[in-house]
Amino acid sequence: MSLLVVGSVALDTVTTPFGEARETLGGSACYFSTAASFFSDVQLVAVIGEDFPPEYVSFLQERKIDLSGLQTSAGQTFRWTGRYNYNLNEAQTLDTQLNVFETFKPQLSERHRQAQYVFLANIDPELQLEVLQQVEKPLLVACDTMNFWIESKRDALIKTLGHVDILIINEAEVRQLADEPNLVKAAHIVRGFGPQTLVVKRGEYGVLMFSPHAIFAAPAYPLEAVFDPTGAGDTFAGGFFGYLAATRNLDEACLRRATVFGSVMASFTVEKFSLDRLRGLEMSEIQDRYHHLLAMTEFSMPD
């Protein structure tokens, strides 16, 4: 089943306590589509500038991602500069340059308009809605965002959320969006904006999913060495939504398995800078971590 994603394709400059990477491949749509491509066909809609390195395009092509919706415009590619201190759960944004995204007007092809699974990765909520409104009959719509848009485009974001089934954001963003410090109350408020299911990313503490019928908790995969957390959230979303698109099933058990696959995919991304760890990743490695997480969380009531 084909999955359409709109989001950022970026050149990231990232500093962590363990090193620095300059102008590497990044962006919400790149992490998302690479992770999702392990489970499903992916169609990417985004814009790059004329300065975008061709080897990064080749990387996405090697993952068999449909790049017919990746437009090249005159100007510079979107750039993000961020830093992490020893608390790797919190990115500090040093600079955001929208560049070619400032004037991007996506026009979906006839084939892309038929997409059934649509992921609105982190980008301007007005752009997210513009893309979604061109899709004829979406079966399932999921969305991500960040503090940058909650602060600068709150009304547009809330309008977009009215068309979304699943929202995947981090804990601080749930509180900020709801303007409510208690996470359970905040989740209730955010689900009131539209999304029936809210997936709350909590960094190394895992994920909490508030679905219509239950709350589910999945731990992050325990790693001894986390090198660069950039893209963990988008990679989580790619594994999660890619799995849902592949199974075409939305029952509670399937949503739960999707959160575990999302956690597994994110655990690989953070082991290296940029998307380097996903290059050459084998399905058998994904399955191994999935089964390890299952074993870690299994318990039952004593007789």
Crossing angle between the packed helical segments 183-191 and 171-178, to the nearest 10 degrees: 70
Backbone CA torsion sign across 143, 149, 151, 154: negative
| Stretch 221-260 residues interacting with ligand AMP (CB under 6 A) | 230-234
Q: How far apart are the first and last CA of the chain?
A: 43
Q: Which is nearer to ligand AMP, 27 or 206 (CB)?
A: 27
Q: Which residue from 10, 127, 166, 275 is in contact with ligand AMP, where contact means CB under 6 A?
A: 10
| 15 in contact with ligand AMP (CB under 6 A) | no
147 forms part of the interface with ligand AMP (CB under 6 A): no
DSSP state of 197: E
Q: How many residues bind ligand AMP (CB under 6 A)?
A: 19
Closest distance between ligand AMP and the C-beta of residue 28, in Å? 5
Asked whether position 99 contacts ligand AMP by CB under 6 A, the answer is no
**Interacting residues of 9 by C-beta distance below 8 A, sequence separation 6+:** 27, 29, 30, 44, 46, 47, 48, 52, 70, 77, 78
The DSSP letter of residue 221 is P
Shortest Cβ distance from residue 98 to ligand AMP (Å)? 8
Cα Rg, the chain, nearest whole Å: 18
From the list 4-12, 15-23, 134-142, 212-220, the region that binds ligand AMP by CB under 6 A is: 4-12
Q: Is 69 a residue that touches ligand AMP (CB under 6 A)?
A: no
- Out of 123, 178, 258, 270, the only residue in the binding site for ligand AMP (CB under 6 A) is 123
Can residue 28 be called a binding residue for ligand AMP (CB under 6 A)?
A: yes
- Residue 120 near residue 160, CB atoms below 8 Å: yes
Q: Give dist(CA 131, CA 1) in Å, integer.
A: 19
Q: Does 60 bind ligand AMP (CB under 6 A)?
A: no
**Smaller CB separation from ligand AMP, 26 or 195:** 26
Binding region for ligand AMP (CB under 6 A) out of 7-15, 62-70, 112-120, 254-262: 7-15
* 276 secondary structure, DSSP code: T
Considering the rule CB under 6 A, would residue 125 count as an interface residue with ligand AMP? Answer: no
Count the neighbouring beta carbons within 10 Å of the beta carbon of residue 177.
Answer: 23
Among 43, 122, 211, 263, binds ligand AMP (CB under 6 A): 122
Is the CB of residue 250 less than 8 Å from the CB of residue 244?
yes
Centroid of chain to Cα 48: 19
Question: In the bound complex, what is the minimum distance in angstroms from residue 5's beta carbon to ligand AMP?
Answer: 12
Q: Which residue from 3, 4, 6, 8 is in contact with ligand AMP, where contact means CB under 6 A? A: 8
Question: What's the CA dihedral at 19, 226, 166, 106 to 10 degrees?
Answer: 30
Residue 269 and residue 277: Cα distance in Å, rounded? Answer: 6
Summarize as ranges the residues that interact with ligand AMP (CB under 6 A): 8, 10, 12, 26-28, 31, 80, 91, 96, 122-123, 146, 148, 230-234
